[in-house]
Chain A
């Protein structure tokens, strides 16, 4: 049997590819190489060859599938609406299960266990904060390279988990805190809570939620990802909307339908923070600030634009914050951040990162909005000093504060 995991790529999905090739130009790795083995249609053909029993999962299969950024730009282009993201995740799981890899155990521990545990995350983060202060963090094996562009890590460590803000009788939303975001990107949580409170919501962040599992799933640790998903499904119950402020996590939570009906229910309640804030702005629950003559460059994270088909909402936030929005790279390619991609394919990640940074720099603005933590780090890494890269909700929160709508509560 060619497939050995519990959830191999599904034949119905593979069958829906009519090999039209319309996805090719959207694919960053195809654009860089001109090589169809690095294209969506090509990867699907390779996966189909295994699914049909014609070929087996070998090292080349591992290479072909791991070179994919999982940016899902091909999904947006695909007229037959093939769910490429899910197919490639299952294919990666097969490759990981069948092709030995030198750092497999360390990776599995990092992505499958450490991210899911509040204690491991805190220990790791404290260690990382110390190393970041002496400049040693980026030199770490395997994961070190992925930490450049990180915001300065705070000590002591904050966490939004277990918090609750706002009046008890207000409309409730659940804040999804995430793993890395909770400790490494607290500013985004602070801004999210601040803006949602201003919109009249009560915000709760259940204590026992965990990592969404996206990184594990993208890296082929499907079982670990499923375990995290089940844990979140058990924790994030109720009917309240679940607000997510990392595009990668949001896209993954919205795909929880694969874990059954209750997963589908959670997926249906999941909203990117820009969706809920844009809605509040449009319905008048949040103010539009008057234009201040400043400009902001907007970058579209793949897992927002392609994974969730959201591109209008971040712009609404930025315009409401009083900025003129400048397009950095409309319809452009992935910035190359893509989780652990830079560990496996540093050259491609760098090429894409530099290309994106150049486009941002060409806008002539130094304030950049990105709604995904990974992209934010990637942009910071390749932009010169003097650029400020923030989440749109942080930019809106700052404008709100300047507009004098009350002091900022801290989570």
Chain B
């Protein structure tokens, strides 16, 4: 019996996709490199997921969990012929506790849907990746997603109390617990951000936040990237922690404005989008302070949006940035490095320089508040040799960030596409330690293999040496 026919017996033919066209449909996420899919299945219960995992194990076929497939690192596609376990049908939102501010949700719940479902209760799920209208909670857990508002609130790991996990052997366990601080090893924090390499998350206990009483969003145009970056540093140095501080360069603003028509200043060299939240009096005072600091740095165009529609439009601009790049070229490679805020300008200039040297078109948009850079290379993968050039440039850009004390990935994950850059950040000993964790969870190596850790991470094995 083949795996697909076993799966069809388990789930019925409608929930097992393996026609060549179906397989082509699932071959990519929002990253660049296509994978190789044997079949995609759409389970509806934890028990089904566990049974699928056991079947795949029996057939020795690799498994890859997938949410909405908006991941940018190829994490949600198999690198060798594998089985995609798609969690989009896990859309329950249960046990909403408005006092303890928690809820048990399915991994297939779309991030924005969760917050929308809770507006009536005055609550929301804080991590707000730019893809929040599409990406799932399961994917957010997988990648430890961040977003503009994670500057003040922290990334996904700070908003997950517990997760139900189908382990690589097909057992069902719960990591973490209802209490914020459970005894024993914090496996919850190990699972969050593990990019589906340690198991399949089937239920999550999320932490909910109270929605702020008042909000204001500022859109500020600057005459230079330097003045925008200096403003970011001074705002943070002044002790303010805005809910969000986002920056875009001129090219990015042009692409975005063409899509949303939100009135972004297309003549500015850089644009800063800042948001402050809290009681009305604080919001007013903070807004003024940020505007003042910006003006001191030469900002000539300060727009303050207080009504919900205008704010939503400004954010729509920011949140469509990556997609809007498609107007420039059919493919894009998105970096996700983090650098110390004080070195922002220096690294950005280096990145532009590298882009120029490789003849690549660069656009920049990033979470300026925490130094999470998203330089974006727009290109056409069909051009011969292009992908290699993009990857070579990528390596240099990552190096530039790491040399000033930065890191490889702020939030998008490593997946497959950034995997081979890991040794730039981690020593052989570090990688080996991570590989051991992976091995403890997944001795067969069938759960999203080839992701995150480059091959040979268990280097001490290869060398025949044991610690």
Contact = CB atoms under 8 A, between A and B. Distances in A.
B120 to A, nearest CB: 14
Contacts of B108: 34
Contacts of B86: 34-36
Interface stretch (B14-22, B233-241, B428-436): B14-22
Interface in A35-79: 35-37, 41-43, 45-46, 48-49, 54-55, 58, 60-61, 64, 77-79
A66 to B, nearest CB: 13
A16 B326 contact: yes
Contacts of A19: 28-30, 69
Contact of B27 (A17, A45, A61): A45
Contacts of A34: 42, 86, 88-89, 91, 108
Given A22-B133, A22-B134, A42 B326 contact: no
A79 B320 CA distance: 6
Contact of A18 (B91, B135, B330, B382): B330
A67 to B, nearest CB: 12
Contacts of A35: 17, 42, 86, 88
A130 to B, nearest CB: 41
A37 B68 contact: no
A22 B323 contact: yes
Nearest to A54: B24
A45 B24 contact: yes
Given A18-B331, A21-B134, A42 B20 contact: no
Contacts of A16: 326-327, 330
B68 A21 contact: yes
A79 B42 contact: no
B138 to A, nearest CB: 12
Contact of A15 (B131, B330, B332): B330
B192 interface: no
B322 interface: yes
Interface string A1-20: 00000000000000111111
Contact of A21 (B19, B24, B112, B131): B131
B424 interface: no
A25 B108 CA distance: 12
B69 A36 contact: yes
B334 to A, nearest CB: 10
Contacts of B400: none
Contacts of B110: 25
B259 interface: yes
A79 B25 contact: no
A24 B68 CA distance: 8
A18 B326 contact: yes
Interface in B318-345: 320-327, 330-332
Interface in B25-52: 25-30, 40, 42
Given A18-B325, A22-B323, A78-B323, A36 B25 contact: yes
A18 B322 CA distance: 9
A290 interface: no
A81 interface: yes
A21 B133 CA distance: 10
Contacts of A61: 21
Contacts of A41: 69
Given A20-B70, A34-B89, A25 B330 contact: no
A79 B323 contact: yes
A41 B323 CA distance: 13
A21 B69 contact: yes
B141 to A, nearest CB: 17
B346 to A, nearest CB: 30
A359 to B, nearest CB: 15
Contacts of A81: 259, 326-327
Contacts of B332: 18
Nearest to B44: A34
A17 B27 CA distance: 14
A80 interface: yes
A64 B21 contact: yes
A23 B133 CA distance: 9
Contacts of B26: 36-37, 42
A15 B329 CA distance: 9
Contacts of B22: 37, 60
Contact of A46 (B24, B68, B323): B24
Contacts of A24: 68, 70, 134
B362 to A, nearest CB: 16
Given A21-B30, A37-B17, A80-B324, A49 B24 contact: yes
Interface in A302-360: none
Contacts of A42: 25-26
A60 B382 CA distance: 27
Contacts of A36: 25-26, 40, 69, 86
Nearest to A39: B25
Contacts of A78: 323
A54 B20 CA distance: 10
B17 A22 contact: no
Interface in B82-125: 86, 88-89, 91, 108, 110, 112-113
Contact of A80 (B21, B91, B133, B326): B326
Interface in B379-415: 380, 382
A79 B324 contact: yes
A9 B113 CA distance: 33
Contacts of A22: 70, 131, 133-134, 320, 323
Given A46-B24, A55-B20, A55-B24, A20 B327 contact: no
A20 B69 CA distance: 8
Contacts of B29: 19, 21
A60 B20 CA distance: 9
A45 B77 CA distance: 14
A77 B133 CA distance: 10
Contacts of B30: 18-21
Contacts of A33: 42
A77 B28 CA distance: 19
21 contacts: A16-B327, A16-B330, A17-B326, A19-B29, A20-B30, A20-B131, A21-B29, A21-B131, A22-B70, A22-B131, A35-B17, A35-B86, A41-B69, A45-B25, A45-B28, A58-B21, A64-B25, A79-B321, A79-B322, A79-B324, A81-B327
Given A16-B330, A25-B113, A81-B326, 5 more contacts: A18-B331, A19-B30, A36-B25, A77-B133, A80-B326
Closest 7 CB pairs of A and B: A80-B326, A79-B323, A34-B88, A79-B320, A42-B25, A49-B24, A21-B70
